[in-house]
Amino acid sequence: MKQITYFKFFLALLFLVTMGVQVQAQNCYEIGMSESRAMFNEAQRLQSIGNEDEAAKMFLAAFKKAQETEENCKDKPTDNERKTKTSNISSQQGKEGGTARPVPFYLNLSAGASGFGTVSFGDLDKRSATVFGADVAYFFNSWLGAGVKWNMANCNVDFGKAGSYHDQITFIGPGIYGRWAKERIEFAAGASVGSLRWRLSNVEVNHIAGSNQSAATTGAFLWTGVNYLLTRNIGVALNLQSTMGTVKTDEGLERNPAGASVVMGINFRF
């Protein structure tokens, strides 16, 4: 009786070991391909932020892992099973919006010195010329987006002993944004058409305070520059930009703000 009991125990133990080996073999292909897909997704993420060198290494590692899994795992699916699984994965990714996507939302804040164009009278005090700006945009893919551009330039105008005033040019309008990244360096450019407003304040004529004046028209804005990506979500920028358009007041004063401005900024992606 003891021999029969030992024999049954031996058969049960052999069965459990065999089942464990089979389960491990069945999981080999799934685990290997899951690791390969994770590497591939990380490579796509690195590529979306412009880190081409690291992305290339990760793509290669993902390929090698998939190749090793195909060669070493005995539980790999048949061609029909593989097609069915691939179709299901593609469908699921489509529902989820894909895997790694470039960061779509863009916010930029900038400040710098303004080349202030011309006025119909007086001399622009370029030492006081400053410019501030902001951009909010959404990128449809890694290189093209649309958003809103805002820019405000300030300067003092002096026309000798006769008087002076504070000059302000404000632009706001929708724009098209473009960018192209190479590792941490990103080149950017854009164009916008919108409202161009000229405002004169602190007016003083012959030491007598005058009335403030303002006028508006349709203008354009062009800019180009380069960003350095500190992280995936934060970058610093150096831009060259110009406001275009001619604004006239009811009193016949004319302002042409065209002139190159150099600004530095910080931008966020989320």
Same domain, 85 and 133: no
Residue 151 has pLDDT above 70, yes or no: yes
CA 160 to each of CA 131, 201, 212, 255: distance values in angstroms, whole numbers, following the listed order: 24, 17, 19, 18
Residue 145 has pLDDT above 90, yes or no: yes
Same domain, 112 and 91: no
Strands 260-269 and 123-139: unpaired
Same domain, 186 and 224: yes
Distance, CA of 242 to CA of 270 (rounded, Å): 27
Same domain, 186 and 129: yes
Same domain, 115 and 244: yes
What the block records as the tokens of 191 is 């164009």
**Which whole number is the average pLDDT over 153-178?**
83
Cβ pair 229, 181 in contact under 8 A: yes
Contact residues for 142 (Cβ-Cβ < 8 A; gap 6+): 48, 102, 179, 181
Residue 243 has pLDDT above 60, yes or no: yes
Partnered with residue 133 across adjacent β-strands are 110, 151
Distance, CA of 206 to CA of 162 (rounded, Å): 5
Same domain, 181 and 60: no
Distance, CA of 142 to CA of 204 (rounded, Å): 51
pLDDT of residue 225: 94
pLDDT of residue 226: 95
Question: Which of residues 96, 121, 140 is at a domain's end?
Answer: 96
Same domain, 61 and 88: yes
Q: What is the CATH number of the domain that holds 194?
A: 2.40.160.20
Question: Which of residues 96, 129, 161 is at a domain's end?
Answer: 96
Cβ pair 230, 246 in contact under 8 A: no
What the block records as the tokens of 94 is 């489509």
Same domain, 213 and 265: yes
Higher pLDDT, 178 or 76: 178
pLDDT tens, residue by residue, 37-93:
888 888 778 777 777 778 778 878 887 877 787 777 765 555 555 555 555 544 444
pLDDT of residue 259: 72
Sheet with 254-256: list strands edge to edge.
118-119, 254-256, 247-248
Distance, CA of 218 to CA of 207 (rounded, Å): 34
Distance, CA of 269 to CA of 233 (rounded, Å): 5
Counting the structural domains of the chain, the total is 2
Distance, CA of 173 to CA of 63 (rounded, Å): 46
Percent of the chain whose pLDDT exceeds 90: 28
- HSE-CB for 267 with a 13 A CA cutoff: 27
What the block records as the tokens of 28 is 């080999």
Same domain, 89 and 116: no
Same domain, 118 and 220: yes
Distance, CA of 167 to CA of 129 (rounded, Å): 9
Helix axes 2-48, 52-72, angle to 10 degrees: 150
Distance, CA of 193 to CA of 180 (rounded, Å): 22
pLDDT of residue 176: 97
Same domain, 49 and 140: no
User: In terms of residue numbers, what domain contains 33?
Assistant: 2-96
Question: Which of residues 96, 113, 145 is at a domain's end?
Answer: 96
User: In this predicted structure, which of 93-97, 111-115, 251-255 has the lowest mean pLDDT?
Assistant: 93-97
Same domain, 43 and 169: no
